[in-house]
C-alpha cells in the first residue's frame, strides 16, 4: 500500500515552518496517542503515521531529501517518532506544556541529548581562498571521561535513583486547574543523582579535550561561506549523537587585490609619460605576471580587463576577470632641470589650441563659465 504524503498527514503546506510543523504534530499526537485511545488500532496507526511524518519533516536534511525524491529518499530513515508509539501519554503532555512551565518530557541524561553545534572562524589569505588548501585546525571540545566511563560517579560507585522523582526524571506540578509534569529539579530530569562525583570530570561524565581536525577548503571560497563537518561538534549526553562543526570562512584583506564575487580589482600606477605616449607594463595576477599594453593618451581611472584572471566560483562556472584601473601618478621630488623641462613643455601647450591637448579640461572650464553666467546675483 502506497504511503500518504507527509505534508497531507500533518495537514500543512509544503512551505510550512518549523513551528507550524511542530504545532500540527502535537495536535495529532494529543488526539491519537494510544494512552488516550486504548485498544483503538486505527488511532494507534494514525499516531504512528503522524510520528513518522514529523520525524522526517522536522529534520532539515531528511525533509530536503523527501522534497526532492519523495518516500524513496527517506525510506529506512523514519523510526516512527516516539519509538513507534511506545512512549507514554505523559511524554507528549510534558512536551506540549514544557515551553510554558519550563519543563520537558524525560529531560536531562535519560533523553540521549544531541551535542551542540559549534562554529569555527577560519581566516584565509586571498590566494588560499582562491586556490583552496587543506588546513589543520584545533577545536576545544569534550570526550567521555575514561575514569568513570562517562557515568560521572567516582570509580567503585554508581549513580543512584533520585529520591525526589523516584527515577522518573519528572515531578507533577499544579498550575491552576492543570496538573503538569516538568523536569525534576533535584536530578534535572536524569532520574539519577551522583553522591560521589568522579574527581576527574567532577560528575560531568566528560572532560575537556582539544582535538585537531583536517579541513579541506575548496577553491573559490569567499567570506561567509562555510563548511559543515558532521559529527565534529560537542559530544552528546548519555549516548546522544554529537553535534556538527561549521567552519566559516573569513578572507583577509589583500595588499593589491580587491575581490567582488568572481572578479578581482587592482590599481596600477603609471607615469605621465606612459599615459601620454603609451607603453607596456607588467601587472600581477594570482597566476603570475602578465603584460598590460597602455595605449597613448590614456586617462587616469581607465579600466583594463584581463579575461579569466579572476576567481573560479566555488559552486562552479567560468572564472571571473581581473580589472586593472590605471592611476596617472604626478611626479614628485623634481630636480631644477626637470622643472624647467616641464615649464617649457607647458609653454608649448599654452601656445596651441587648448582643446587639442586637454579636451576634458577645456570642456570643464566651459561648463564652469556657463554656470556662473547663468547665476543670478
**Structural domain that includes position 45:** 6-87
pLDDT at 107: 41
Tally the domains of the chain: 3
Name the pLDDT band for 177 (thresholds 50, 70, 90): low
3-state secondary structure the chain: CCCCCHHHHHCCCCCCCHHHHHHHHHHHHHHHCCCCCCCCHHHHHHHHHHHHHHHHHCCHHHHHHHHHHHHHHCCCCCCCCCCCCCCCHHHHHHHHHHHHHCCCCCCCHHHCCCCCCEEEEEEECHHHHHHCEEEEEEEEEEEECCCCCCCCECCCCCCEECCCCCCCCEEEEEECCEEEEEECCCCCCCCEECCCECCCCCCCCEEEEEEEEEEEECCCCCCCCEEEECCCCCCCCCCCCCCCEEEEEEECCCCCCEEECCEEEEEEEEEHHHHHHCEEEEEEECCEEEEEEECCCCCCCCEEEECCCCCCCCCCCCCCCEEEEEEEECCCCCCHHHHHHHHHHHHHHHCCCHHHHCHHHHHHHHHHHHHHHHCCC
The answer, yes or no, to whether residue 152 has pLDDT greater than 60, is yes
Tell me: do 153 and 227 sit in the same domain.
yes
Tell me: do 214 and 322 sit in the same domain.
no
Name the pLDDT band for 8 (thresholds 50, 70, 90): very high
pLDDT at 105: 40
pLDDT at 353: 56
CATH number for the domain harbouring residue 13 = 1.10.287.110
Tell me: do 296 and 182 sit in the same domain.
no
pLDDT at 112: 63
Query: Does any domain span residue 73?
Result: yes
Name the pLDDT band for 305 (thresholds 50, 70, 90): very high
pLDDT at 303: 95
Tell me: do 239 and 262 sit in the same domain.
no
Query: Does any domain span residue 97?
Result: no
Tell me: do 201 and 239 sit in the same domain.
yes
pTM of the model as a whole? 0.57
Tell me: do 216 and 274 sit in the same domain.
no
pLDDT tens digits for range 264-285: 999 999 999 999 999 999 999 9
Amino acid at each position: 500500500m502506497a504511503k500518504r504524503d507527509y505534508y497531507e498527514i500533518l495537514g500543512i503546506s509544503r512551505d510550512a515552518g518549523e513551528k507550524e510543523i511542530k504545532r500540527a504534530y502535537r495536535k495529532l499526537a494529543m488526539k491519537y496517542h494510544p494512552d488516550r485511545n486504548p485498544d483503538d488500532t486505527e488511532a494507534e496507526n494514525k499516531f504512528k503515521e503522524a510520528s513518522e511524518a514529523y520525524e522526517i519533516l522536522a529534520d532539515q536534511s531528511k525533509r530536503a531529501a523527501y522534497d526532492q525524491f519523495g518516500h524513496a529518499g527517506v525510506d529506512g530513515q523514519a523510526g516512527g517518532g516516539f519509538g513507534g508509539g511506545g512512549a507514554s501519554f505523559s511524554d507528549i503532555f510534558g512536551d506540549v506544556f514544557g515551553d510554558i512551565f519550563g519543563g520537558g518530557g524525560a529531560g536531562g541524561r535519560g533523553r540521549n541529548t544531541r551535542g551542540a553545534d559549534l562554529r569555527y572562524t577560519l581566516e584565509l589569505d586571498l590566494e588560499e581562498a582562491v586556490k583552496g588548501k587543506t588546513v589543520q585546525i584545533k577545536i576545544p571540545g569534550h570526550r567521555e571521561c575514561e575514569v568513570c566511563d562517562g557515568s560521572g560517579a567516582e570509580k567503585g560507585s554508581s549513580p543512584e535513583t533520585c529520591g525526589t522523582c523516584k527515577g522518573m526524571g519528572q515531578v507533577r506540578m499544579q498550575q491552576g486547574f492543570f496538573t503538569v509534569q516538568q523536569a525534576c529539579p533535584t536530578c534535572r530530569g536524569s532520574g539519577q543523582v551522583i553522591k560521589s562525583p568522579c574527581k576527574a570530570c567532577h560528575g560531568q561524565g566528560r572532560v575537556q579535550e582539544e582535538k585537531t581536525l583536517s579541513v579541506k577548503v575548496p577553491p573559490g571560497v569567499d567570506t561567509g561561506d562555510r563548511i559543515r563537518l558532521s559529527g565534529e561538534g560537542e559530544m552528546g549526553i548519555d549516548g546522544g549523537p554529537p553535534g556538527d562543526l561549521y567552519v566559516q570562512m573569513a578572507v583577509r584583506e589583500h595588499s593589491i587585490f580587491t575581490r567582488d564575487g568572481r572578479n578581482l580589482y587592482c590599481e596600477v600606477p603609471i607615469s605621465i609619460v606612459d599615459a601620454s605616449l603609451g607603453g607596456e607594463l607588467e601587472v600581477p595576477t594570482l597566476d603570475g605576471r602578465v603584460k598590460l599594453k597602455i595605449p597613448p593618451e590614456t586617462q587616469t581611472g581607465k579600466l583594463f580587463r584581463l579575461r579569466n584572471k579572476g576567481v573560479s566560483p566555488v559552486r562552479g562556472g567560468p572564472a571571473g576577470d581581473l580589472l586593472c584601473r590605471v592611476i596617472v601618478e604626478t611626479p614628485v621630488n623634481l630636480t631644477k632641470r626637470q622643472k624647467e623641462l616641464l615649464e617649457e613643455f607647458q609653454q608649448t601647450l599654452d601656445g596651441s589650441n587648448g582643446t587639442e591637448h586637454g579636451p576634458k579640461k577645456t570642456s570643464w572650464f566651459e561648463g564652469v563659465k556657463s554656470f556662473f553666467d547663468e547665476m543670478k546675483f
